[in-house]
Amino acid sequence: MSELSGTPFGTLSDGTEVRSWTLERAGVRVRVLSYGGIVQSVQVPDRTGRPGNVVLGFDDPAGYEEHPGPYFGALVGRYANRIAGGAFPLDGRTYQVTRNEGPSCLHGGARGFDKRVWEVVPDGPYALRLSRVSPDGEEGFPGRVEVSAVYALEESGALRLDYEAVTDAPTVLALTNHSYWNLGGVDGGPEPTAGHELRVDASRYTPVDADLIPTGVAEVAGTRFDFREPRKSGSGYDHNYVLDKGVTQAAEEVAELYDPASGRVLTVATTEPGLQLYTADQLTGPYPPGSGIALETQHFPDSPNHPEFPSTVLRPGEVYRSRTVYGFAVRD
């Protein structure tokens, strides 16, 4: 049984204390921060049984404050990914939200959920419950939204992320985790992940314009976007995949990442309809470009401006629910 006790992790530049919490089960150890709901590290064994951290992160709050743009390991919201022009229509009114990436709103604006301190409490012996209230008008988004996220280690050692939210006024909401995975291990400096083998169960994806805003839906067949059969992940991807399963009540496996060198395998299961593949070619900070792969389970980018996409509208009386499960294994 793991010891669920928060420990000091340091302070932010404004003096706010950040605490860390550790979950451990079935050979997997996960460290979570109150700042940004960040998954700071995930220790899993390789094929020889040697443990290693497989997500990019920092050892103190200063690292996250100095390098906020990549969203290392963070819980992002209110709206994961981009909203074109930082504006969207809802019930006959246009809402203007913070533009923090050129003309777009990215991952909830300048101070999204990733830059907030969350309340963290144990939720059983192998789980943590993170919660906060996002006030009406935060970063321009309407409605007072009460959000919770449960980070849990299942009996197998899989990391399960469960999100719930309610609102007092119509709004849009899309949450995800922004971990960068490197199954070769990041201790001592990560090797490039271009040699990882990736499978994504998606026959379609959303092409994007110069601002990475979707322009529609296209088939992956015959293109470099086809990962329906496992192949090297390569580079040059920051695209949303339209998962074949669509929105589901239960989390279904949609992707697998494999590192031939270490033997580590990561599986991704989700209730979400989309998966953003980002090969981190524009990564900034102490980690070089291409040293991690983000597999962000999500609704599609700019959905509030695309009525043909699955809806991200949340109304009073409804409950937003989303689940993603990251499973770990080894292969000879």
Positions marked catalytic: 178, 296
Question: What is 170-204 written as a DSSP string?
Answer: -EE-B-EE-PEE-TT--TTSPPPSTTSEEEE--SE
Listed in sequence order, the residues at least 6 apart from 177 whose beta carbon sits closer than 8 Å to its beta carbon are 37, 39, 73, 74, 75, 76, 161, 296, 297, 324
DSSP output for 85-121: GGEEEETTEEEE----BTTBEETTSTT-GGGSBPEEE
C-beta separation of 137 from 145 below 8 A: no
Residue of 195, 281, 295, 293 lying closest to 241 (CA atoms): 295
CA dist., res. 47 & res. 24, Å (int): 19
Please give the Cα distance from 326 to 332 (Å, whole number).
20
Q: Which of 244, 245, 199, 247 is nearest to 225 (CA)?
A: 199
